[in-house]
Structure 1
Amino acid sequence: MRFFKHYAPSMIAKHISRLFNGKIHIHGIGEFRFKDGQLVAPTEAEREHYKMVKEINSEITRLKMAY
Structure 2
Amino acid sequence: MSFFTSGVGVLQKIVILIGAGLGVWGVINLLEGYGNDNPGAKSQGMKQFVAGAGIVIIGTTLVPLLSGLF
TM-score w.r.t. the length of structure 2 is 0.41
What TM-score, normalized to structure 1?
Answer: 0.43
Relative contact order (C-alpha < 8 Å, sep 6+): which is higher? 2
Which structure shows the bigger proportion of residues in helix conformation? 2
Q: Which has the higher strand share?
A: 1
